[in-house]
Structure 1
Amino acid sequence: MPEHGGNLRDARRLYGRTDWIDLSAGLNPDWYPAPALADNAWHRLPEPDPALVEAACSYYGAPHMLAVAGTQAAIQALPRLRAPSRIVIAAPSYAEHAHHWALHGHTATQVAYDALAAAVDRCDVLVVCNPNNPTGATVPRALLLDWAGTLAERGGWLVVDEAFGDTDGANSVADCTDRPGLIVLRSVGKFFGLAGVRLGFVAAQPALLDALDELLGPWQVSGPAQQVGKAALLDRAWQRATHAALLLAGQRLRTLLAAHGVDSTGTALFQWWPEARPELFHEHMARRGIWVRLFRTGPRGIRLGLPPDEAAWTRLATALNEWTRESK
């Protein structure tokens, strides 16, 4: 199983602290305030709520969507809907994509973002995180739609993981998923900060969504998750305020890193850089109760999310000052 951020139990086991600042998962630290649940939320079987899908289609601009138990559920299931195929996955990328395509008889190859255009003609499925996790790299919308058309002509798919797309929707292709072979994944875990709810959405043509729904089976999304997710997707005032706040926080993080000689890239929710000594940086931060995401391979580097409050910003700045001094 690939490594992931958010593994605070590992941090506590290894370092024995309890005052952790978790910057490892790239989630909005000011998560959506979940409303009170209906009295029967824990009792009723969670039949799908059409109003949830309507709210998702409106928010994401997609013509058709399927609610799933986090986009991870779709990532694991989509490879099972195709016969063995040639898969190209943009790299570096969220590791679960390559992991699951390789598990189901497909030939999976990872290709750098700047070489994707040349790879379209030699694959049946192209998987792109846009913006990318962990680097923040993006592919222009027009180019994605061109690739989708090329792949569809021979029965192929373009799978676009837009889990981090809420703060910069300019390159989203969710609105075009009525086209053959174009599949978009969206998540409430990142922008809304609701990773624990396990709720995501797949946008695609109805026939593909029906096949995915049949494969995943009944009661995919819990009743409480449906209620909380619907409230978040409908709350336009919270979304507008949060969008603006995250853009400012993201710029603040990038500026703080630059002040310590770190040339980073990323999104409003995280920054990433190819740190020359990533294990040492990770250890340095962990000793100070700051848990960051370490990438040991492909490529080696550090991803760092937004601090949750001013005290955490101060602790991060202090730790970076100490790292800069010790590195000289």
Structure 2
Amino acid sequence: MPHKASIRHGGGLMAATKAYPHAPLPWLDLSTGINPVPWCGPRADIDGLNRLPDPCRLIALEAEAARVFGASTEQVCAVSGAETAIRLLPLILGPVTVDIVEPTYGAHQESWRASSMAPNAIGPDQIFASRADVLVIVNPNNPDGRLFDKDTLEQLARQRSRMGQWLIVDESFIECAPEASVAGLDIDQLIVLRSFGKFYGLAGLRLGFMIASPVLKARLRALTGDWPVSAEAIVMGHAAYADTAWRETTRLRLNTDAEGLDEVLWNSGFEPLGGTCLFRLVRSDDAREWFSHLCDQGILTRPFDYAPDWLRFGV
């Protein structure tokens, strides 16, 4: 049976090895949408690790990230993973009414509920009809890869801003569709979240960003403190974002690998439902049996408690 960690987020490899002790080693973890070929480059030296992270280096990291995002440095706030911003935004914006375009990444629902605000689930065809104080959209969506184009989201953000309503766009997988990013738009009540670790294959580094107004950036920084990310994250994040050639080559490789995975899944009898260049979602009446069978072979995938006929495969 699927273990709790795999149903909540993917990952949880240690739990899987305990549940399936006779599976061959090493395991192949396909349960997350993380680039399996990470960026490699400079790391923090021992002197940097011996001191508190330098605020000037943090500003330089945010400036380099802003250049890649097409935003201004004053709008970009580094955090220890996009997940941190997801969990803290209810404290910054609440109490408010919230609509979330579902199904999507479950942490968005969890974070608002943890702050005693009950979010409402809406469909992707209802975004312009939403009258909630906050509307949350994951783009590209996790787990099905649904994608709103940039023009649609810009129109939505401007409409909501005129009405004094927030739009949160979680772009954790946007490197798979960079043309759809709205991170560079200067709209008062638009908030964009970006992940570093997924595309760069360094999820354990814990680095992400919020792109929003300087006022909102100041509120988030007040909650995360003077050292929101590690010296290692500052050094590696700055160098990786400056590596344009790696980014372009990696995007091409991931697209090719995703196409190859599609062929394998199709030939295995799965029905494709969508995805990005970092993961694929499929349907099967025997999804739970497939999950257990693959675990027996040392291959971890991502099942879903709300859709027992779904499986997600990392590329």
Specify if TM > 0.5: yes
- Structure 2 counterpart of 1:32: 39
Distance 1:299-1:124 versus aligned 2 partners, 3 A rule: farther
Counterpart among 138, 163, 166 of residue 172 in structure 2: 163
Spell out the pairing of 1:141-152 with structure 2 (5 A cutoff): 141-152=150-161
Q: Does 1:253 align with 2:261?
A: yes
Query: Could you say if the C-alpha distance between residues 112 and 298 of structure 1 is closer, same or farther in structure 2, counting changes exceeding 3 Å?
Result: farther
Alignment map for 1:75-94 (pairs within 5 Å): 75-94=86-105
Q: Which runs of 5+ in 1 are unaligned?
A: 307-328
Partner of 2:210: 202
- Supply the distance in 2 between the matched residues of 1:69 and 1:14 (Cα, whole angstroms): 30
Q: Could you tell me which residue of structure 1 aligns to residue 224 of structure 2? A: 216
Measured on the aligned residues, the alpha-carbon RMSD in Å equals 1.6
Q: 1:301 aligns with which of 302, 305, 310?
A: 310
Contact 2:43 2:232 in 1 (8 A): no
What SS is found at the alignment partner of 2:50?
A: coil
Query: Do the aligned residues in 2 keep the contact of 1:148 with 1:182 (CA within 8 Å)?
Result: yes
Unaligned 5+ segments in structure 2 are: none
Q: Is the 8 A contact 1:84 1:107 kept in 2?
A: no
Which sits farther off after the overlay, 43-52 or 87-96? 43-52
Query: Partners of 1:189 and 1:240 in 2: how far apart?
Result: 16
- Cα contact 2:39–2:202 (8 A) shared by 1: yes
Aligned partners of 1:85 and 1:107 also within 8 Å: no
Q: 1:36 to 1:77 in 2, by over 3 A?
A: closer
- Please say if 1:5 is aligned against 2:38: no
Give the superposition deviation at 1:282.
0.7
Q: 1:196 & 1:190 partners in 2: Cα distance? A: 10
| Shift in Å, 1:106 | 2.0
The aligned amino acid for 2:89 is: L
Deviation at 1:3, TM superposition (A): 1.3
Partner SS state of residue 210, structure 2: strand
Q: Distance in 1 between matches of 2:194 and 2:200?
A: 12
Cα gap change, 1:36/1:214 in structure 2, threshold over 3 Å: closer, same or farther?
closer
User: Is 2:54 aligned against 1:47?
Assistant: yes
1 or 2 for the larger relative contact order (CA 8 Å, sep ≥6)? 2
Q: Report which stretch shifted further, 59-68 or 33-42.
A: 33-42
Residue type of the alignment partner of 1:73: T
Determine helix, strand or coil for the equivalent of 2:204. Answer: helix
Structure 1 letter corresponding to 2:35:
N
Letter of the 1:53 partner, please give it: E
> 3-state SS of the aligned residue for 1:106?
coil
- On the 8 A contact 2:288/2:308 being kept in 1, the answer is no
- CA distance in 2 between counterparts of 1:232 and 1:191 reads 11
- Paired residue secondary structure (1:297): coil
Deviation string 1:56-83 (CA, Å, 9 cap, x unpaired) is 0111212220110000110000000123
- State the shift of 1:300 in Å: 4.6
Which of 141, 154, 158 aligns to 2:163? It is 154
* 1:105 matches 2:116: yes
* TM-score normalised by the chain length of structure 2: 0.92
CA 278–115 in structure 1, closer or farther in 2 if over 3 Å, else same: farther
1:262 aligns with 2:262: no
Q: How many residues align?
A: 303
Letter of the structure 2 residue corresponding to residue 243 of structure 1: R
- Answer with 131-140 or 78-87: which moved more: 78-87
Q: Percent identity?
A: 37
1:80-111 per-position Cα deviation (integer Å, ceiling 9, x unaligned): 01232110111111100011111213230112
Structure 1 residue 60 corresponds to structure 2 residue 73: no
Amino acid at match of 1:26: G
**1:272 match:** 281
TM-score by length of 1: 0.88
The letter of the residue matching 1:139 is F
Provide the secondary structure at the position in 2 that maps to 1:77.
helix
Q: Distance in 1 between matches of 2:183 and 2:41?
A: 26
Q: CA deviation at 1:299?
A: 7.0
> How far 1:298 moved relative to its partner?
4.8
Q: In the TM superposition, what is the alpha-carbon distance from 1:167 to its structure 2 partner?
A: 1.9
Q: Which amino acid aligns with 1:130?
A: N
Helix, strand or coil at the partner of 1:232: helix
